Amino acid sequence: MLQTTMTVVKQTEIARHVYELVLQGENVATMQPGQFLMVRPVRTELLLRRPISICSYDKAAGTCTLLYRVEGAGTKDFSKLQSNDSVDCLGPLGTGFDVSEAQTAGVKSALLIGGGIGVPPMYQLGKELAAQGIEVTFVNGFQSHTDIFYEKEMAAYGSVHIATVDGSYGTQGFVTDITRKLPEPDRVYSCGPRPMLQAVKSSYAGSKTYLSLEERMACGIGACYACVCPKKIPTAG
């Protein structure tokens, strides 16, 4: 875990209330797909850091890209950041996706399912899986066409399917309306709202599936127990 000051390279609004923030810092060297940063707002009255998932990174350049949606005072504060501004970040945090496991297991196909702001972590994961020769399929769910982002970027590493709740783009409905029509993959990776993750888990009960949970949090390391999730542990014997 590393607390560091990162520098803003650039920032762009890429969809409705969704921003792409590129940062540079020494902590990029240890990043893995599926991890996140705890970012401190600039305004001192906003006491808590905000968790932002890592969309991609370039370790050679020392840069990473965060995608976030403006929903409150903290993320609104982030949206005002400009090039060369300094940002106090903690991380990378969280358990990332183990890309080496797929390679060791001889995985041939992977299905990456993202919902809303759970889509960004799928990008770097898909990029690294594709680099291993694994066939990657992205399925992304959004509320409407104005919320869609990174469709073209993901298409560079696999096939992309889009579901919108209002039917304004792609398949009307939810990600499961698409996935039920797709071939069974060797691995499933997913990030998004809990109801979506529950549906994914039910749909692929017989497949090896990795889920990344979205939780509100204060510290990012589990010490405050705001984001801690219970887990089932098989009974010994």
* pLDDT of the residue at 212: 87
Q: State how far the Cα of 148 lies from the Cα of 199, in Å rounded to an integer.
A: 21
What is the radius of gyration, based on Cα positions, of the chain? 18
Q: Does 200 share its domain with 177?
A: yes
Q: How far apart are CA 100 and CA 219, in angstroms?
A: 29
CB 141 within 8 A of CB 130: no
Three-state DSSP at 30 gives: helix
Model pLDDT for residues 44-99, shown as the tens digit of each residue: 677 689 999 999 999 999 999 999 999 999 999 999 999 999 999 999 999 999 99
- Do 59 and 120 belong to one domain? no
For the chain, give the mean pLDDT: 90
pLDDT at 228: 47
Domain span at residue 188 reads: 99-213
Whether residue 110 sits in one domain with residue 150 = yes
Question: Is 204 a member of any domain?
Answer: yes
Please give the pLDDT value at position 233. Answer: 53
Residues 157 and 201 in one domain: yes
Residue set of the binding site: 50-53, 67-69, 74-75, 219, 224, 227
Residues 46 and 139 in one domain: no
Supply the pTM of this predicted model: 0.88
Q: Verify that 10 and 42 share a domain, yes or no.
A: yes
Residues placed in the known binding site for [2Fe-2S] cluster: 219, 224, 227
Do 104 and 204 belong together in one domain? yes
Supply the DSSP string of 202-234, one letter for each residue.
Answer: HHTTTSEEEEEE----SSSSSSS-SS------P
**219: confidence class by pLDDT, cuts 50, 70, 90:** very low
Q: 221 — phi, psi (to 5°)?
A: -125, 5
Domain endpoint, select from 31, 63, 93: 93
Question: What CATH code is carried by the domain that includes residue 137?
Answer: 3.40.50.80
CA atoms within 13 A on the CB side of 12: 8
Domain match, 60 and 140 both: no
Structure tokens at 163: 């579901």
- Confidence (pLDDT) at 220: 44
Q: Which CATH number fits the domain that encloses residue 40?
A: 2.40.30.10
Q: Is residue 223 part of a domain?
A: no
223, pLDDT greater than 70: no
Q: Is residue 227 part of a domain?
A: no
Say if 225 falls within a structural domain. no
Instruction: Specify whether 11 is located in the same domain as 43.
Output: yes
Known binding positions for FAD: 50-53, 67-69, 74-75
- Are 23 and 114 members of one domain? no
Looking at per-residue pLDDT, the higher value among 235 and 9 belongs to 9
Residues 195 and 109 placed together within one structural domain of the fold:
yes
Task: Give 48's Cβ-side CA count (13 Å radius).
Answer: 14
Indicate the residue among 46, 61, 93 that finishes a domain: 93
Q: Select from 96, 95, 127, 85 the least CA-distant residue to 110.
A: 127
Task: Flag whether pLDDT at 133 surpasses 90.
Answer: yes
Asked whether the beta carbons of 175 and 113 are under 8 A apart, the reply is yes
Residue 218: predicted pLDDT: 44
Number of domains in the chain: 2
Choosing from 76, 93, 110, the residue where a domain stops is 93
- Residues in contact with 184: Cβ distance below 8 Å, sequence separation at least 6, in sequence order: 204, 207
46-79 per-residue burial string, b: 16 or more CB within 10 A, e: under 16:
eebbbbbbbbbbeeeebbbbbbbbbeeebbebbe
**Helix boundaries (H) for 40-141:** 73-78, 99-104, 120-131
Does residue 9 surpass a pLDDT of 80?
Answer: yes
| Domain co-membership, 72 together with 146 | no
